[in-house]
């Protein structure tokens, strides 16, 4: 039995030396087997799922190409960026495939720019999505009958002249049909005339007359020559078609010399895709590939770290120069603080066990209390009230925190500080919102809050709200910590993020003030 997990690991070991950027992305995701998949791989939610039975039919080289497709897709952040409203999964997958193959050489059969009429090269993922969505909608519309109301409207004549014209047309059609029937009956009793040559003057009356005259003057010999010629042409076309079939079915290659995998493994058919690439049996497979896609800023940050490392050490591997520039530019996309706050809340929320009489014990029944588990967390806020942070900024921060941490948080305590703590113990959130006092003395010190957090393990996480201008703290504890820094503006975030992200289990974002 083939162990595909080991095969995947061997590819990762190979990339460690030959593809350092792909290897770093490979390490950011968890591989998980999913027997329900109808495709080899799919990516999303921090994992890469694969189907064992499908991978059994792939060679090591084929599997590596499929993995490369997913690695480049992750580098471009398609599974983790903000998706369009009511996005169509099938179109998302095709747009992603087209973007990847337009910037990186993939030796497997998948969607490419050439499969679509009037689709330009070197567009971004979002542009491809909207153009392909329009392309699909137009193709679907062209394949459906016109609106019934419009048909009924066209069928109803508006004037008497139109009635007369329709009547005349009908009489002419009947007469023409009768004449056509008579000609057909006459043709049954006569031998068919030789077909005219339509190569240059297609349908021309003068050319047809000349051909007929030449055929009559040549007699039986002329007819025989024409039949032989047609036969040779047919034989040549058959031989050419058979040869093309042999060439096209060579195992493992397509017309361009690249590997051409079967439709079963790839989720694509081998028909001419220009007709309508979306109108095929693989639409469900394409929807399945993007099923796990959702916005995730935390994973995006991990991907950005991989790209940043490749930039600093010039370890791009086989990633071409144009794609390198695209990846570099993606580092400057603004963060969404809402996703960061949501991710932070998820990371600190733990399952707390509570005893209850409402649920019997599994072992002892109603004689003993049962237990239930509630998701809850204790969160400590550290709010900078020095002169460099305004009262409006602090109030707006409280409003955002109250919105995001209203549920799932058991205790939400606040320390206000500048160069020292403003109270010996933290106060509740409701009380802190009504006691905002900006001292205006200047000077900020993060260490007192860090010391309190380190010595009180009941808190699952710590959030600093500040402009950032102070020495970073030292956390004097061996337990795992979760710290989020929220800056007052993007300018402050850009200044301090490099230093904060070097601290273990510290991350940062900023909340822009409303205009």
**Which positions ≥6 away from 135 have C-beta within 8 Å?**
116, 119
What are residue 365's DSSP bridge partners? 361
pLDDT of the chain, 515 residues: tens digit per residue:
689 999 999 999 999 999 999 999 999 999 999 999 999 999 999 999 999 999 999 999 999 999 999 999 999 999 998 888 788 999 999 999 999 999 999 999 999 999 888 889 999 998 999 999 988 888 777 665 444 434 444 444 444 444 455 555 555 444 444 444 444 444 444 444 443 343 333 344 444 444 444 444 444 433 343 444 444 444 444 444 344 333 333 333 443 344 444 434 444 443 444 556 675 558 889 999 999 999 887 898 899 999 999 999 999 999 999 999 999 988 866 667 887 888 888 788 764 555 665 556 555 565 566 555 556 789 999 999 887 888 889 889 988 998 888 777 888 999 999 989 988 999 988 777 666 665 555 689 999 999 999 999 999 999 999 999 999 999 999 998 999 999 999 899 989 988 998 899 999 999 988 76
Is residue 493 within 8 Å of 502, Cβ to Cβ?
A: no
For tokens 């070097």, the residue is 502
* First vs last C-alpha separation in the chain: 62
Residue 366, both tokens: 């109603």
Dihedral (CA of 23, 28, 30, 35) sign:
negative
**Which positions ≥6 away from 380 have C-beta within 8 Å?**
413, 414, 415, 426, 449, 452, 453, 456, 459, 461, 462, 463
Residue 451, both tokens: 């010391």
What are residue 461's DSSP bridge partners? 379
Query: Cα(287)–Cα(279) distance, rounded to whole angstroms?
Result: 13
Look up residue 335 and give its DSSP letter. P
Q: How far is CA 98 from CA 121, 278, 320, 359, 505, in A?
A: 9, 13, 16, 54, 36
Helices 321-330, 297-313: axis angle to 10 degrees equals: 130
What are residue 508's DSSP bridge partners? 485
What's the pTM value of the predicted model, to 2 decimals?
A: 0.49
What is the b/e burial string over 71-97, where b = at least 16 CB atoms within 10 angstroms of the residue's CB?
Answer: bbbbbbbbbbbebeeeebbbbbbbbbb
């Amino acid at each position: 039995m083939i162990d595909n997990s080991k095969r995947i690991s061997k590819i990762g070991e190979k990339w460690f030396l030959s593809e350092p950027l792909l290897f770093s992305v490979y390490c950011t995701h968890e591989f998980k087997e999913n027997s329900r998949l109808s495709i080899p791989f799919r990516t999303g939610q921090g994992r890469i799922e694969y189907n064992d039975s499908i991978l059994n039919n792939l060679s090591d080289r084929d599997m590596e190409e499929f993995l490369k497709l997913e690695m480049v897709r992750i580098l471009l952040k398609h599974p983790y960026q903000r998706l369009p409203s009511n996005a169509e999964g099938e179109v998302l997958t095709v747009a992603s495939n087209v973007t990847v193959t337009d910037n990186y050489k993939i030796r497997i059969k998948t969607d490419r720019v050439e499969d679509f009429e009037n689709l330009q090269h070197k567009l971004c993922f979002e542009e491809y999505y909207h153009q392909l969505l329009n392309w699909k909608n137009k193709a679907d519309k062209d394949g459906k009958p016109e609106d019934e109301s419009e048909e009924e409207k066209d069928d109803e004549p508006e004037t008497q002249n139109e009635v007369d014209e329709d009547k005349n047309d009908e009489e002419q059609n009947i007469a023409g049909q009768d004449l056509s029937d008579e000609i057909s009956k006459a043709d049954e009793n006569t031998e068919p005339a030789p077909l005219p040559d339509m190569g240059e003057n297609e349908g021309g009356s003068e050319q047809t007359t000349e051909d007929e005259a030449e055929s009559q003057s040549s007699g039986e010999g002329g007819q025989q020559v024409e039949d032989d010629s047609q036969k040779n042409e047919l034989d040549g076309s058959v031989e050419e078609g058979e040869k093309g079939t042999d060439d096209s079915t060579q195992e493992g290659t397509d017309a361009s010399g690249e590997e051409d995998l079967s439709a079963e493994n790839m989720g694509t058919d081998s028909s001419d895709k220009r007709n309508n690439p979306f109108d095929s049996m693989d639409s469900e497979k394409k929807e399945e590939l993007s099923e796990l896609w959702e916005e995730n800023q935390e994973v995006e940050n991990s991907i950005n770290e991989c790209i940043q490392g490749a930039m600093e050490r010039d370890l791009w591997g086989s990633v071409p120069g144009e794609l390198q520039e695209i990846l570099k530019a993606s580092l400057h996309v603004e963060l969404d603080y809402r996703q960061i706050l949501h991710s932070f809340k998820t990371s600190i929320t733990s399952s707390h066990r509570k005893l209850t009489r409402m649920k019997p014990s599994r072992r002892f029944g109603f004689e003993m209390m049962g237990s239930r588990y509630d998701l809850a967390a204790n969160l400590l806020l550290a709010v900078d009230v020095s002169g460099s942070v305004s009262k409006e900024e602090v109030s707006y921060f409280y409003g955002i925190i109250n919105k995001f941490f209203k549920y799932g948080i058991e205790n939400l305590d606040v320390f206000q500080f500048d160069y020292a703590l403003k109270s010996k113990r933290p106060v509740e959130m409701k009380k802190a919102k009504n006691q905002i006092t900006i001292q205006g003395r200047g000077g900020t010190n993060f260490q007192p809050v860090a010391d309190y957090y380190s010595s009180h393990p009941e808190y699952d996480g710590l959030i600093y709200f500040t402009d950032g201008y102070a020495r970073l703290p030292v956390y004097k504890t061996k337990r795992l910590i979760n710290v989020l820094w929220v800056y007052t503006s993007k300018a402050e975030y850009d200044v301090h993020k490099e230093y904060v992200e070097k601290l273990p289990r510290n991350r940062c974002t900023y909340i822009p003030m409303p205009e």
